[in-house]
Copies of this chain bind each other. A is one copy, B any other.
Amino acid sequence: MVTGHGEGGRPALAREARELIEPAVQGILSTLDPEGGFPHASIIDVASVEGSDLVTLLSRLAVHRKYAEADDRASILIAPHFGEDDAMQRPRITLVGRLVQEDDRSKYRDRYLAVHPEAEMYLALPDFDFFRLHTDRARYIAGFGRMGWLDRQDLGDGDGD
């Protein structure tokens, strides 16, 4: 179960994974506490950009941003069925990579506001900046017993910047 991909193989899983990532609006960011090295999960708003990469808008006051600035290793879980009774049988994906600040605030502005129009007020403040998860690989779970690891190429690559 851990190494196989199940029905349809890797291409089918990759296609389903992309369909989960593209419309994502919220996710769970996991970052590293630089003091003790403990992993820390928190809710974030997201928008997908090229390939399997996601962007999010983080405040300088937030714990997860301080953590990401100290160590850029991160993951974002996309789990639209979290909280539902059958969540463990429904699709979700953990994108693993490095979370890097984008200094040009205009770069993702239009894409992000298309998904999160309410973020306009945050973008007017000086302490919010975009961070992009550069996905290296992903753990996709389609449901019970059907799952697999996918890499950046499987997920459609990004522009690589």
- Residues on A lying within 8 angstroms of B by beta carbon are 1-2, 26, 28-33, 36-43, 45, 61-63, 73-77, 79-80, 82-83, 87-88, 92, 94, 96-97, 139, 141
Please tell me how many copies of the chain the complex holds.
2
In the assembled complex, which residues on chain B have CB atoms less than 8 Å from the CB atom of A141? 42
B83:A39 contact, CB within 8 angstroms: no
B33:A30 contact, CB within 8 angstroms: no
Q: A1 to B66: give the CA distance in the assembly, Å.
A: 14
Q: A141 to B26: give the CA distance in the assembly, Å.
A: 17
* A28 touching B31 in the complex, CB below 8 Å, given contacts A2-B61, A75-B40, A79-B43: no
* A94 touching B41 in the complex, CB below 8 Å, given contacts A36-B73, A82-B26: yes
B77:A80 contact, CB within 8 angstroms: no
B39:A30 contact, CB within 8 angstroms: yes
Q: A41 to B79: give the CA distance in the assembly, Å.
A: 10
B43:A40 contact, CB within 8 angstroms: no
A24 CB, nearest partner CB in chain B, Å: 11
